[in-house]
């Protein structure tokens, strides 16, 4: 009977470990969640249009991510009541970095077309996904 209980506990624990998300996946989920949170709080009216990278070139992920990070600094909350949450979410998302090798990347942030803050954030979410 003891052996059966130990076996069941071991089986249960091993299945829990296998179903747990990897730390990298959890980090990406957290970043996506924060981007959605920022999207709901961002100032849309009279906001500055931001250069939004689309379809990043393979090998130039770092450049694309740095363009999004520069744009994140320009975002503003819609109301001053959301300022603390907004700032914290921006800080968390700004830590995201692309782990790509820097090849011959000729594109600059200014070469991308300008979009509204919400479209900018949707583009960033697509990149993270």
For 63-74, give the DSSP string: HHHHHHHHHHTT
Which pLDDT score is estimated for 91? 87
Which pLDDT score is estimated for 8? 66
Please give the helix or strand (H or E) that residue 51 lies within, else none. strand 50-51
Segment 17-72, tens digit of pLDDT: 555 557 777 787 888 888 888 888 888 887 888 888 887 766 677 778 888 888 88
Pair of tokens at residue 105: 């990347």
Phi, psi of 51 (to 5 degrees): -65, 120
pTM for the complete prediction?
0.71
Segment 87-118, tens digit of pLDDT: 888 888 887 776 655 555 666 788 888 888 88
Phi, psi of 2 (to 5 degrees): -60, -45
Per-residue pLDDT averaged across 74-91, rounded? 84
Q: Which domains does the chain have, with CATH numbers?
A: 27-98+111-128 (1.20.1250.70)
């Amino acid at each position: 009977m003891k052996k059966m209980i130990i076996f069941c506990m071991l089986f249960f624990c091993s299945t829990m470990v296998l179903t747990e998300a990897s730390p990298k996946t959890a980090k990406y989920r957290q970043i996506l969640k924060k981007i959605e949170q920022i999207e709901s709080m961002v100032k849309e009216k009279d906001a500055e249009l931001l250069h939004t990278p689309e379809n990043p070139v393979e090998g130039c992920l770092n450049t694309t991510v740095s363009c999004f990070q520069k744009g994140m600094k320009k975002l503003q909350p819609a109301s001053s009541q959301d300022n603390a949450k907004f700032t914290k979410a921006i800080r968390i998302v700004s830590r995201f970095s692309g782990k790509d090798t820097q090849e011959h990347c000729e594109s600059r942030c200014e070469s991308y077309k300008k979009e509204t803050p919400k479209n900018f954030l949707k583009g960033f979410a697509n990149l993270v996904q």
